[in-house]
Structure 1
């Protein structure tokens, strides 16, 4: 397996390029529109053909490159049920996606948004904003639900083997990877917390609205096709 973790500094988004060494087919997970050229250049340098683009959810803080990448490569866009209708395939819990000889298992992990899914590949899971390093996604917009996210974390993701590596959709402190065991023990929002305690924490974060929320969400429901961002936004 060929694996690269890429970063967008404006949104602190991680994008993952994963390729099958046998077939040279590859997938990009959560690509950012402004980084499409960079990502395609890297794939070409590694002699990979982009056949799939996975989004973990409809993002609120950046524009996905899924639509642009599909136009340029004819890649299949994969998303969760209830998310972007423009996706070629909308996946449910337990579905599988094959990229060459690589088999990704889809895990429904709603709560941050109602369409959030994670992708499990062998010893690693790509969790989008559901589970972060020592944190988790907020639940105060896009049909977010703290109780639902608690179940996604404790019943779905924490049900994976402890040694499973967790690759998040974002990190704001330069951390690149964690593990299920670490988060079960050290995640301050959920480790040892009851459902009620978790909900209370999530309801009292008092976070500012994402700067691009009103612009990014409708754009991402259209796979990133949009008009230019208004000046000063």
Structure 2
């Protein structure tokens, strides 16, 4: 089981969380930091290229040290901001799942932990929307945030879920991923998705288990729903996917 980053000796930690929005793709970016650590190390989850300057300005204003820019999957609706962030802040490391086959400084697998100070994100494989989707979950322990937080990408949305009709998507796999890796978390766990199109900002595991109109069905009914959505082809897919396969680094100078 891999561990990324360094952790100081255990001490009471206080997490900072900022939920940021990019309106063109209705994408949420999340900034987390350990304020109790001397360096105030921070992580950005699912940054977007259009809002990199905003995100970096916020990091600096809050006196944080950004160490990781992580993606929940290879997005099809926007270009990740990871490449631009690394261009402006070369010390920041990019992170994505190994199964996605995308390039990054660190590729993670199920069970890995990404440390920022004394806090960490646990990697849970949640394929189905794409083959490389992961959910990042805050740690479980006396020094970790309570309630726990799950950054679910497109696997689980608020009262919805990501589509399964491209990028090796699979409705049965998505159903099993959510039920085995997310719905097994404590019911008070906060759900923070990569997108919302209805104005919702946060949910909980317990709420989704009761009210998610798709994932409260049995597996066969869920599969039928997903196969009959008849959604339009993502307008950014042909641009976003190739760029995101290299974590948005396609325009960085090639090193000798």
Band the TM-score falls in, shorter-chain normalisation: over 0.9
Match of 1:197 among 217, 221, 228: 221
1:125 paired to 2:128: no
The equivalent residue for 2:113 is 96
CA deviation string 1:70-118 (max 9, x = no partner)? 2322211111112253211111111111011111100000000000001
Structure 2 contact 83–250 (Cα < 8 Å) conserved: no
1:7 paired to 2:21: yes
Write the distance in 1 (CA, Å) between the matches of 2:209 and 2:45.
Answer: 24
1:140 paired to 2:165: yes
The equivalent residue for 2:80 is 64
1:29 paired to 2:45: yes
Write the distance in 2 (CA, Å) between the matches of 1:187 and 1:142.
Answer: 24
RMSD between aligned residues? 1.1
TM-score, normalised on structure 2?
Answer: 0.86
1:216 paired to 2:240: yes
TM-score, normalised on structure 1?
Answer: 0.94
The equivalent residue for 1:78 is 95
Match of 1:107 among 120, 124, 128: 124
Shifted more, 71-80 versus 177-186: the winner is: 71-80
Secondary structure of 2:240's aligned partner:
helix
Residue ranges of structure 2 left out of the alignment (5+ in a row) = 1-14, 140-147, 252-256
CA deviation string 1:24-78 (max 9, x = no partner)? 1111000000100000000000000110011000000000011221232221111
Shifted more, 217-226 versus 202-211: the winner is: 217-226
Structure 1 contact 84–223 (Cα < 8 Å) conserved: no
The equivalent residue for 1:187 is 212
Write the distance in 1 (CA, Å) between the matches of 2:235 and 2:200.
Answer: 23
CA deviation string 1:196-224 (max 9, x = no partner)? 11110000000001110111100100111
Structure 2 contact 82–249 (Cα < 8 Å) conserved: no
1:206 paired to 2:230: yes
Structure 1 contact 16–30 (Cα < 8 Å) conserved: yes
Instruction: Quote the offset at 1:225 in angstroms.
Output: 3.6
